[in-house]
Amino acid sequence: MSFTIALSGKGGVGKTSIASLVVRSLLSRREGPVFAVDADPNSNFADQLGVAEYGTVGDLREELLKVKDSLPAGMSKADFIGYRIQEIIVESKGFDLLNMGRPEGPGCYCYVNSLLREFLDTRGDNYRYTVVDNEAGMEHLSRRTTRDVDALLVVSDLTPVSLAAAFRIGELARSLDLKIRRAGLLLNRASKVPPALVERAAERGLAIFGSIPEDTEILTRSRGGMPLLGIGEDNAAYRAVGGILERIFTGVPEPVRE
């Protein structure tokens, strides 16, 4: 069974960069393939993983609505979706990537989305880990596209607006009927967790997974279009991500001070 890690947070907090470092760290564990899912229409997950894209689930959804009454004889809608998803999944060394693309537009997508969820749930069982880079904000939670998650990493920096968004995401995750086994705040571009934030997070019912220091190499790679999968093992941000994942996997309580 796949261990699913989802990342959420306000736009601009470095969510996709962290998602890429999570994939990099999981690959280093050599425990099996990783399924990377780009659920952010404005994301660049593929670029940061250093792979090309062949299409999106959003395109497939539109395509099915157009051809649903003219499928080849003997092919069901479920078979069509399975066949086309296989074509748009990017296969790379140690991981595969699926781009969800744009959200739903006009028209009824309920049946199509149901088929897609069923297929992706089944597909996810083929991987040791699934990493979902969600769109900014809380839409993926309210639409229940993020479900059956083992760890929800709510990414924020130390700005008041991103922290406020992170706490709202935590509250929404608790209020909806979602299977999120563990959710916590992950501070990006911060050398430590301020004591005042520890107390505030406790009051808001959100655990703190840890912090990731600001890193010039990540900034240089992002500006130069270089994938983060090539980052060295001695990189401070990469090591911080690895430590956070280890605490999540082992169930060790989060440190209240760093």
- How far, in Å, are 48, 126, 183 from residue 78 at the CA level? 31, 18, 33
pLDDT band at 19 (very low <50, low <70, confident <90, very high): very high
Report whether pLDDT(113) > 80: no
Query: What pLDDT does 257 receive?
Result: 43
Q: Does pTM surpass 0.85?
A: yes
Q: Is residue 89 part of a domain?
A: yes
Q: What is the pLDDT of residue 248?
A: 93
The range of the structural domain enclosing residue 147 comes to 3-250
Residue 227 lies in a domain: yes
The per-residue pLDDT for range 115-162, each reduced to its tens digit, is 667 766 777 788 999 999 988 766 666 665 566 889 999 999 999 999
pLDDT of residue 258: 41
Report the pLDDT value the prediction gives residue 151, as an integer from 0 to 100: 94
258 in a structural domain: no
| 123 phi/psi in degrees, rounded to 5 | -60, -40
- 138 is a domain residue: yes
> Is there a domain that residue 66 lies in?
yes
DSSP for 10-67 reads -TTSSHHHHHHHHHHHHHHHTSS-EEEEEE-TT--HHHHHT------HHHHHHHHHHH
At 186-225, the pLDDT tens digits run 999 999 999 999 999 989 989 999 999 999 999 899 888 8
How many domains does the structure of the chain reveal? 1
What pLDDT is recorded for position 110? 66
The average confidence (pLDDT) of the chain is 85
pLDDT at 49: 95
Give the rounded percent of residues in the chain with a pLDDT score beyond 90: 50
Q: Where does residue 94 fall: left (phi above 0), alpha (psi -120 to 50 degrees), or beta otherwise? A: left
Q: What letter would DSSP give residue 138?
A: S
Q: What would the pLDDT profile of 50-82 be if each residue is shown by its tens digit?
A: 999 888 888 887 888 788 778 888 888 878 878
SS3 at position 149: strand
Q: Report the CATH number that the domain containing residue 231 is assigned in CATH.
A: 3.40.50.300
Residue 256 included in any domain: no
C-alpha–C-alpha distance, residues 51 and 131, integer Å: 16
Would residue 257 count as lying in a domain? no
